[in-house]
Amino acid sequence: MKNPYYPDDKGQQADWWQNILNFASAQLLLLGFTPAQIAKILLDAAWAVFLLRTLPNTYLEFGKRVTGYADSYLDGPANGPAPFPPVVPDWPSGAGAPITTGIEARRIDWVRLAKANPLYDPETIGAVLRLEQTGDDFDPTTYKAELSDFVSPSVNTVTFKFRKASGEIDGINLYMRRKGEAAWTFVRFFSKSPATDTTAVKIAGTPEEREYQGRAVIADVEVGIVSDIESVLVRG
């Protein structure tokens, strides 16, 4: 399928902005951007990398330690010693001079300006700056739904993520079956990811193993190939 130049995944967005940091200065000079314009774009790029990668990664590991701390109390041995709480990491320093909000809106503007320039070449400047779509045209009949990251953070709750094929599909129909069941049960349509299923466990207070799978949906019609089966233990 055809992928837009700017990816959906935030990790890939960070890579895209890092590429701008590495190569935009020389390429935009070729298109007549002024040094002041380029400096503002590079500053946005530095802040984007900070906001999409540096800042989240700083607290991702801390979040895992917080979860471990809570689990020690909840699932540890009876009458065990109290765990030490994790230390909150310092807020990382920024990416340079302060900027105003609207990095993505400014990206859209300067990319449009770059592509409108008569000197813009999709196969050279466009390829270096990653401003062109990649991949094949989207085929809904062969698209395989993609589900991931199934977790049960609380009782009767399952969170998960799914891909939207870079906006080519409207969402997914989710199906579920409990361990030992043969038939799949339709849960509902989801249009936004991450998503949450709140189907109650069969026996209150008892965890249960479930399997999930999904189908892509366009204009209320299921298309393509069913996703791989994902398993999760749901808290009761």
pLDDT for 132 equals 92
Residue 90: pLDDT band by 50, 70, 90 thresholds?
Answer: confident
Q: Is pLDDT at 135 greater than 70 in this prediction?
A: no
| Residues 178-209: tens digit of each pLDDT | 999 999 999 999 999 999 999 999 999 999 99
Residues 125 and 27 placed together within one structural domain of the fold: yes
- Domain membership of residue 10 as a residue range: 2-135
User: What is the rounded average pLDDT of the residues 82-105?
Assistant: 87
Domain with residue 224: its CATH number is 2.60.40.10
Residue 140 belongs to some domain of the structure: no
Q: How many domains does the chain have?
A: 2
Of the candidates 180, 175, 178, 181, the one whose C-alpha atom is nearest the C-alpha of residue 162 is: 175
Residue 96 belongs to some domain of the structure: yes
From residue 46, how far is each of 19, 53, 98, 199 by CA, in Å? Answer: 10, 11, 11, 42
Residues 106 and 156 placed together within one structural domain of the fold: no
Percent of the chain predicted with pLDDT > 70: 97
User: What is the rounded average pLDDT of the residues 21-41?
Assistant: 97
Q: Is pLDDT at 1 greater than 70 in this prediction?
A: no
CB–CB of 39/21 below 8 Å? no
pLDDT for 40 equals 97
From residue 121, how far is each of 21, 126, 212, 214 by CA, in Å? Answer: 20, 6, 45, 40
pLDDT for 3 equals 63
- Indicate the range of 41-45, 80-84, 174-178, 197-201 predicted with least confidence: 80-84
| Residues 139-166: tens digit of each pLDDT | 899 999 999 999 999 999 999 999 998 7
Highest mean pLDDT among 3-7, 85-89, 173-177 belongs to 173-177
- CA gap 52, 54 in Å, rounded: 7
pLDDT for 170 equals 94
Residues 64 and 11 placed together within one structural domain of the fold: yes
Give the end of a domain, one of 90, 109, 135: 135
Residues 26 and 94 placed together within one structural domain of the fold: yes
Q: Is pLDDT at 48 greater than 90 in this prediction?
A: yes
Residues 125 and 158 placed together within one structural domain of the fold: no
Maximum distance among all Cα pairs of the chain, rounded to whole angstroms: 74
Residues 118 and 224 placed together within one structural domain of the fold: no
Residue 29 belongs to some domain of the structure: yes
Cβ contacts of 140 within 8 Å, gap of 6 or more = 168, 169, 216, 218, 223, 224
At 232, give phi and psi (nearest 5°). -155, 145
pLDDT for 172 equals 97
Residue 142 belongs to some domain of the structure: no
Residues 186 and 155 placed together within one structural domain of the fold: yes
Residue 121 belongs to some domain of the structure: yes
Residues 129 and 152 placed together within one structural domain of the fold: no
Q: Is pLDDT at 95 greater than 80 in this prediction?
A: no
Q: Is pLDDT at 72 greater than 90 in this prediction?
A: no
**Any idea what the Cα angle at residue 23 is, between residues 50 and 137, rounded to 5°?**
90
Residue 141 belongs to some domain of the structure: no
Q: In this structure, which amino acid lies at residue 139? A: D
Mean pLDDT across the chain: 92
The pTM (predicted TM-score) of the whole model is 0.55
Q: Is pLDDT at 2 greater than 70 in this prediction?
A: no
Give the end of a domain, one of 115, 135, 155: 135
Q: Is pLDDT at 115 greater than 80 in this prediction?
A: yes
Residues 122 and 162 placed together within one structural domain of the fold: no
- CA gap 202, 70 in Å, rounded: 26
Strand-strand pairing, 157-162 and 185-190: unpaired
SS (H, E, C) the chain: CEECCCCCCHHHHHHHHHHHHHHHHHHHHHCCCCHHHHHHHHHHHHHHHHHHHHHHHHHHHHHHHHHHHHHHHHHCCCCCCCCCCCCCCCCCCCCCCCCCCCHHHHHHHHHHHHHHCCCCCCCCHHHHHCCCCEECCCCCCCCECCEEEEEEEECCEEEEEECCHHHCCCEEEEEEEECCCCCCEEEEEECCCCEEECCCCCCCCCCEEEEEEEEEEECCEEECECCCCEEEEECC
